[in-house]
């Protein structure tokens, strides 16, 4: 019922065409028997939508310059048509940088929080010399054993520092990508989508994202390891700072970029290409955003797994791995050093440790990220459009 109410609200505003829904068919006596509960759910759905609209209304006035951008984009020679049937392809282009930042921050936080337990498993399965109790057959076996032996909260240890880092990191990531994609596309292929522009924009966006996110990644992965000695996030940060110096938080930055730049190039180019195939009109289409995001994430994740294994080794400075190659008391200091250590400990197969967990993590992760991002971008811009329509109606 909540979903149905939401769809009806969207239909009333002219943003979604009516589609047949199985829930619309008569339920006979069952529907009558559930009328009371249905009314309560209907009320909750209305309250949920009201709160969402209130939140958007509170945030969107802070988006500077949005109204002027709408006037130029929505109201041309076909003013009346634009007011009743705004084109989704026009909505994101009319959104300001602040809109992209807000939508990106929400998407990043939701993505990392929802997928954090799988991320914990991925980190452990990439361990080169794991403890006997931390050797897992697959992702589900790992999750079950971690919860059973270490407690139900263990798979989400370090979630708070990830959420704090993910907000600003993804705000910069999406806003930079959207802005550069538009500018470069006009230079490279005016009036059309350019895959080269998408890839170049993804590269620059990754530089900003990783600069913010890398310290949080270091802390998160050290707390995810089996028998992590840290009591909490602050204790981990203090110990790393005192024992290894501030540069330890950026020891894997170059490796992170070496991994994430090709990852994001593949990710963005694949996403935009799939969107052209599945959603050529570029309307708001949650299913196409989800499928395109999932496939783009899976392809990029599988391809860049060797670099992710090296990044994990640099972040965790795994003690058993260092001891087994006579590096006790020393640190792995760069990508080349990490590549050599990985090969010495496991040969070529070691570069693909945890690939299953990485793909399983990235597919829903990127699907969630793009779906939430496109949704909030749509809702925020729709809200601004409706405000503009009401203002214009009031002037008549």
Q: Which of 39-53, 68-82, 267-281, 311-325 has the highest mean predicted lDDT (pLDDT)?
A: 267-281
Q: For residues 38 and 181, which has the higher predicted lDDT (pLDDT)?
A: 181
* Residue reference for tokens 């980190």: 123
CA distance 343 to 19: 55
| Average pLDDT of the segment spanning 281-293 | 90
Q: Which of 33-42, 231-240, 335-344 has the highest mean predicted lDDT (pLDDT)?
A: 231-240
CB 224 within 8 A of CB 142: no
Q: How many domains does the chain have?
A: 1
Question: Is the pLDDT assigned to residue 2 strictly greater than 50?
Answer: no
The pLDDT value recorded for residue 326 is 65
The pLDDT value recorded for residue 129 is 76
Q: What is the DSSP letter of 85?
A: S
Model confidence pLDDT, tens digit, residues 21-33: 333 333 444 333 3
The angle at the Cα of 273, spanning 270 to 278, to the nearest 5 degrees, equals 115
The pLDDT value recorded for residue 94 is 54
Question: Is the pLDDT assigned to residue 10 strictly greater than 50?
Answer: no
CA distance 17 to 288: 16
Residues 6+ apart with CB under 8 A from 358: 122, 301, 302, 305, 308
The pLDDT value recorded for residue 290 is 94
Alpha helices in 60-194 (DSSP H): 66-74, 79-84, 90-94, 97-125, 139-150, 159-188
CB crowding 113-123: b at 16 or more within 10 Å, else e = eebbbbbbbbb
Question: Is the pLDDT assigned to residue 69 strictly greater than 70?
Answer: no
CB 380 within 8 A of CB 56: yes
Model confidence pLDDT, tens digit, residues 233-270: 999 999 999 998 998 999 888 878 888 888 988 998 99
Model confidence pLDDT, tens digit, residues 185-224: 888 888 777 888 888 998 999 999 999 999 999 999 999 9
Q: What is the DSSP letter of 86?
A: -
Q: What's the domain range around 75?
A: 1-394
Mean pLDDT estimate for the chain: 77
Rg of the Cα trace of the chain? 24
Residue 390 Cα distances to 112, 139, 285, 293, 394, angstroms: 37, 52, 26, 35, 6
* Residue reference for tokens 């990644």: 217
Residues 6+ apart with CB under 8 A from 368: 107, 110, 111, 114, 115, 293
Q: For residues 393 and 84, which has the higher predicted lDDT (pLDDT)?
A: 393
* Residue reference for tokens 């079950």: 144
The pLDDT value recorded for residue 327 is 62
Rounded to a whole number of angstroms, the distance between the first and last alpha carbons of the chain is 37
CA distance 293 to 7: 23
CA distance 336 to 26: 66
Q: Within a 10 A sphere around the Cβ of 272, how many other Cβ atoms?
A: 19
Q: For residues 15 and 196, which has the higher predicted lDDT (pLDDT)?
A: 196
The pLDDT value recorded for residue 255 is 79
Given pLDDT bands bounded at 50, 70 and 90, which one contains residue 317? Answer: confident
CATH of the domain at 353: 1.50.40.10
Given pLDDT bands bounded at 50, 70 and 90, which one contains residue 337? Answer: confident
DSSP letter for each residue of 373-385 = HHHHHHHHHHHHH
The angle at the Cα of 143, spanning 306 to 128, to the nearest 5 degrees, equals 35
Question: Is the pLDDT assigned to residue 288 strictly greater than 90?
Answer: yes
| Average pLDDT of the segment spanning 123-145 | 87
CA distance 332 to 209: 24
The pLDDT value recorded for residue 395 is 75
Question: Is the pLDDT assigned to residue 120 strictly greater than 60?
Answer: yes
Question: Is the pLDDT assigned to residue 175 strictly greater than 70?
Answer: yes
Q: For residues 102 and 16, which has the higher predicted lDDT (pLDDT)?
A: 102
Q: Which of 205, 239, 203, 194 is nearest to 219 (CA)?
A: 239
Q: What is the DSSP letter of 20?
A: -
Model confidence pLDDT, tens digit, residues 262-283: 898 899 899 999 999 998 888 8
Given pLDDT bands bounded at 50, 70 and 90, which one contains residue 393? Answer: confident
Instruction: Please give the model's pTM, rounded to 2 decimal places.
Output: 0.65
Question: Is the pLDDT assigned to residue 302 strictly greater than 60?
Answer: yes
């Amino acid at each position: 019922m909540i979903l149905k109410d939401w769809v009806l609200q969207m239909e009333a505003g002219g943003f979604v065409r009516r589609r047949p829904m199985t829930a619309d068919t008569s339920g006979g006596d069952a529907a009558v028997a559930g009328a009371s509960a249905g009314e309560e759910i209907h009320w909750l759905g209305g309250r949920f939508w009201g709160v969402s609209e209130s939140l958007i209304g509170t945030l969107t006035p802070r988006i500077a310059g949005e109204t002027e951008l709408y006037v130029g984009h929505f109201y041309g020679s076909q003013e009346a048509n634009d007011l009743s049937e705004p084109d989704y392809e026009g909505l994101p282009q009319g959104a300001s940088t602040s809109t992209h930042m807000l939508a990106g921050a929400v998407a990043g936080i939701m993505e990392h929080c929802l997928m954090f337990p799988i991320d914990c498993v991925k980190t452990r399965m990439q361990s080169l010399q794991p403890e006997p109790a931390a050797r897992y057959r697959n992702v589900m076996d790992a999750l079950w054993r971690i919860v059973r032996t270490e407690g139900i909260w263990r798979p989400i240890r370090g979630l708070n520092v990830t959420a704090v880092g993910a907000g600003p990191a993804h705000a910069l990531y999406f806003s930079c990508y959207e802005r550069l994609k538009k500018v470069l596309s006009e230079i490279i292929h005016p009036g059309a989508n350019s895959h080269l522009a998408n890839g170049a924009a993804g590269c620059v966006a990754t530089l900003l994202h990783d600069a913010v996110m890398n310290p949080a990644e270091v802390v998160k992965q050290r707390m995810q390891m089996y028998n992590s000695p840290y009591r909490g996030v602050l204790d981990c940060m203090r110990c790393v700072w005192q024992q290894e110096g501030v540069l330890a938080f950026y020891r894997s930055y170059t490796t992170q970029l070496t991994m994430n730049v090709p990852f994001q190039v593949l990710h963005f180019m694949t996403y935009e290409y799939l969107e052209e195939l599945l959603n050529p009109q570029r309307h708001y289409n949650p299913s196409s955003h989800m499928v395109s995001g999932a496939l783009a994430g899976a392809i990029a994740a599988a391809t860049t797994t060797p670099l992710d294994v090296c990044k994990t080794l640099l972040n965790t400075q795994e003690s058993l791995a260092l001891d087994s190659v006579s590096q006790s008391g020393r640190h792995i200091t760069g990508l080349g050093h990490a590549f050599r250590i990985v090969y010495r400990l496991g040969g070529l197969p070691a570069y693909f440790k945890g690939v299953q967990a990485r793909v399983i993590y990235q597919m829903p992760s990127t699907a969630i990220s793009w779906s939430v991002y496109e949704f909030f971008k749509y809702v925020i811009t729709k809200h601004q459009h409706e405000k503009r329509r009401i203002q214009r109606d009031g002037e008549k």
